[in-house]
Amino acid sequence: MKITGLKTFAVNAKMRTWVFVKIDTDQAGLYGWGEGSLEWKTRAVVGALKDFEAMLIGEDPRNIEHLYQKMYRQSFWALGVIGMSAISAIEQALWDIKGKVLSVPVFELLGGKVRDRVRMYTHLGGGDMKAVYETFSVEPLIELANNVINNGYTALKVVFVPYSKTIDGQNKVRRFADMFGKLREAVGQDIDIMVDFHGRTTPAMAIQYINTIEEFHPFFCEEPVRPENIDSIKLVTEKTKAPIATGERHVSIYQYKEIFEKNAVHVIQPDLCHCGGLWAAKKIAAMAEVYNMGVAPHNPLGPVANAVALHFALSTPNFLIQEDMLTDVPWRWDVVETEITSENGYWKVPTKPGLGIDINEKEAKKYPFKQEIIHSNSIRDDDNAILDW
């Protein structure tokens, strides 16, 4: 069995562009799908996927780890998020092929299921970028949160942390705490609320923000500071009582090493479309397990990424909860053919071989790539200085 080619599909989905890859083989009707969607780097990822094609032609697609090592190590230059997103997409497609060859769902190849359903959470506003990232008033915040709950979710994520300077005044801290308190009052004690800081703050500000909402018991506070400095993240963890999470912007197992060695957080968030794919994520999760850390994968991406995340969650003991973005565009399920379904905030166990999905290429081509909105262009201080979004 040999790989004969690679095709890419860039599908504009309003808030993001989904980057799908199809790996073809010399066996009639046998192919695999993967996803490497990366915000505002679509053309770069598509180019990287085509660059890797020459390494794959003629290889046996069942030798997944071998091909991962070939792409990673023989690239020579250290791979950043663009190269790792391309590898992740290819690696996922290889698992899809292997599951089809063996006539089993992918999670059976990853150790089998350790749970019977997978808990999900989502963001406010679905595919409306401003609703997700700029809901800074109480009334729309509560309305959007209730919409999420009415769709069956028992957990949701909010991103109303103020855009912050190195040090900001008490007004922002008080306004943030007031919004969280009113949200908690509105949704009750049975709904878990995660706060995505989106790397907008420094340790000095993150500690103040988190300590003011301690009484409302956030499920976790995500990426309180930019991810490059692990000591800064660890400082926030040490000075606050709420669980702290990070990891969506770390790629490869090597970038997680310092997080584990320093016990820097309580929850890690690898993105299976950026960290190297399913097997790399399983390695990261295994390291996290040694340090008693939970795993809550990052995934606001497309339908192939959802399928991949489901197989990971079903087979990973220290999995915690799964992010999704299922309401970004109304035609999401026209592009993908799948048996994967959800009920009351949980994904059900799939039974089809491989990842259990197929892309309707005709439908996908109805939404060709176009330049995404660069949301971060508008994130400025009152003196026009650039802030983290």
Write down which residue in 103, 137, 153 finishes a domain: 103
Helices (H), the chain: 42-56, 64-73, 81-102, 106-109, 129-133, 138-150, 170-187, 203-212, 230-239, 253-261, 278-290, 303-315, 332-335, 361-364
| Neighbour order of strands in the sheet with 31-35 | 3-13, 16-25, 31-35
> Do 328 and 215 fall within a single domain?
yes
In a domain, 361, yes or no: no
Same domain, 148 and 71: no
Same structural domain, 238 and 314: yes
389 in a domain, yes or no?
no
Residue 96: inside a domain: yes
Please check the confidence at residue 206 and state whether its pLDDT lies above 80. yes
Phi, psi of 194 (to 5 degrees): -100, 145
Grade residue 334 by pLDDT with cuts at 50, 70 and 90: very high
Q: Are residues 64 and 196 in the same domain?
A: no
Give the active site residue among 198, 250, 311, 375: 198
DSSP codes joined into one string, 336-386: EEE---EETTEEPPP-SSBTSEEE-HHHHTTSB--PPP-GGGG-B-TTS-B
Give residue 380's pLDDT.
Answer: 83
Please classify residue 28 by burial: count the beta carbons closer than 10 Å to its beta carbon, then call 0-12 exposed, 13-18 middle and 19+ buried.
exposed
* pLDDT bucket at 349, cuts 50 / 70 / 90: very high
Domain holding 75: CATH number?
3.30.390.10
Q: 202 and 317 share a domain?
A: yes
Residue 310 pLDDT > 80:
yes
Q: How far apart are CA 240 and CA 232, in angstroms?
A: 13
Say yes or no: 97 and 136 in one domain: no
- What CATH code is carried by the domain that includes residue 170? 3.20.20.120
Phi then psi dihedrals of residue 46, to 5 deg? -60, -40
Mean pLDDT of the chain: 94
Cα of first residue to Cα of last residue in the chain, in angstroms, is 46
Q: Active-site residue 274, yes or no?
A: no
Do 96 and 114 reside in the same domain of the chain? no
> Are residues 288 and 152 located together in one domain of the fold?
yes
Total domains in the fold of the chain: 2
Q: Is residue 374 part of a domain?
A: no
Domain extent at residue 293: 108-353
Based on the fold, state whether residues 211 and 69 are members of the same structural domain: no
pLDDT for res 326: 85
CB count within 10 Å of CB 306 equals 25
* Closest alpha carbon to 223 in 388, 48, 36: 388
Domain-embedded: residue 388: no
Establish whether 266 is a catalytic residue.
no
Last residue of a domain, one of 85, 103, 121: 103
pLDDT at 5: 96
pLDDT recorded at residue 388: 83
Residue range 68-87: average pLDDT? 95
Residue closest to 276 by CA, chosen among 105, 117, 85:
85
Range 196-226 burial, b when 16+ CB lie within 10 A, else e: bbbbbbbbbbbbbbbebbeebebbbbbbbbb
User: pLDDT at residue 373 above 70?
Assistant: yes
Q: Are residues 39 and 118 in the same domain?
A: no
What is the per-residue pLDDT for 389? 76
Find the catalytic residue in 250, 266, 298, 311.
Answer: 298
In the predicted structure, residue 387 carries a pLDDT above the cut 90 = no
Express each pLDDT in 215-246 by its tens digit.
Answer: 999 999 999 999 999 999 999 999 999 999 99
Residue 161 shares a structural domain with residue 94:
no
Sign of the dihedral through C-alpha 299, 303, 307, 308: negative
Please give the pLDDT value at position 375.
67
Task: Among 103, 123, 156, identify where a domain stops.
Answer: 103
Picking from 20, 3, 9, 2, the residue whose alpha carbon sits closest to that of residue 85 is 20
Domain assignment present for residue 18? The answer is yes
Q: Is 372 part of any domain?
A: no
Shared domain for 42 and 146, answered yes or no, is no
In a domain, 280, yes or no: yes
- The better pLDDT of the pair 91, 164 is held by 91
